[in-house]
Amino acid sequence: MNHTALSRHRSTRGMLSLLLATLAALSLVWCVAPAANAGGVGAPPVPAAPTGLPADIERLSPYVPGIACDMRDRTGTVRLAQLIKTTYGNTYGLARSCTAATKPSEHFDGRAVDTFFNVRDAAQRTNANALISWLLATDKAGNPYANARRLGVMYILWNNKMWSSYRTSEGWRPYSTCATTPTTAYDTTCHRDHIHISLSWEGAMGRTSFWSKQVAPVDWGPCRLPDLTWSIGWSAPNPGRCPSYP
């Protein structure tokens, strides 16, 4: 091999070595670089917060029981379920058929989301707790439970406990007798295999500031007549509290 050919050969080998070293370095970066998420480096993901929110915020939702047998997937309920699915990739359940065999539920009028996390799976438990912390966190303006209020969250059931917007002074309190029934047979009843989120009517209809950028007034929903088991379906916002019947 003459001097010119040898120089070219060495130059080609040098360029190839540099290319391989560069690719190896990039491969290492791709393997170890953490995924970006709203919770910070190394933290579990949380839903993306909208921009352009008003300075004002919804009041904590009062308790508005599920007394309507009107099984529909409401706009705000669906959007919340899909927001959670986009963040964590989990499945969900919404409206459910009315039945006299169980107590009234916001599933019967389309105001509830069951989003499936299993407390017995460490990764799912971590994500579930991150979601709940995001819902109940104080925002930069000092508003407690900010995302829950802007979404119209009325109460949450998860892992043997219950949090209610209308009983915040009690924090998380025991749900039913779940503390004494730790077996897997009670995981659904005690909300250990899913988070249940019930919404206000304004939250379920997608009128709260998280979606509309406008603070929504309280909607007390349809009222039932004293001689009926169920109220009629929702037709328009109701600014007044319904009568209480036994």
| Sequence spans of domains, the chain | 75-97+105-212
- Percent of the chain past pLDDT 70, that is, above it, reads 82
- For residue 110, the model assigns a pLDDT of 95
Q: What is the pLDDT of residues 149-160, one digit of tens each?
A: 999 999 999 999
Rounded distance, CA 160 to CA 188, Å? Answer: 10
Total Cβ atoms within 10 A of residue 28: 10
Structure tokens at 76: 């705000």
Count of residues making up the chain: 246
Q: Closest Cα partner for 38 from 87, 90, 92? A: 87
Helix axes 75-88, 122-136, angle to 10 degrees: 130
Residue 12 has pLDDT above 80, yes or no: no
More confident residue, 147 or 10: 147
- For residue 213, the model assigns a pLDDT of 98
Rounded distance, CA 79 to CA 188, Å? Answer: 23
Of 8-12, 36-40, 138-142, the poorest mean pLDDT is in 8-12
Residue 8 has pLDDT above 60, yes or no: no
Band of pLDDT at residue 37, cut at 50, 70 and 90: low
Check if the beta carbon of residue 163 is closer than 8 Å to that of residue 36. Answer: no
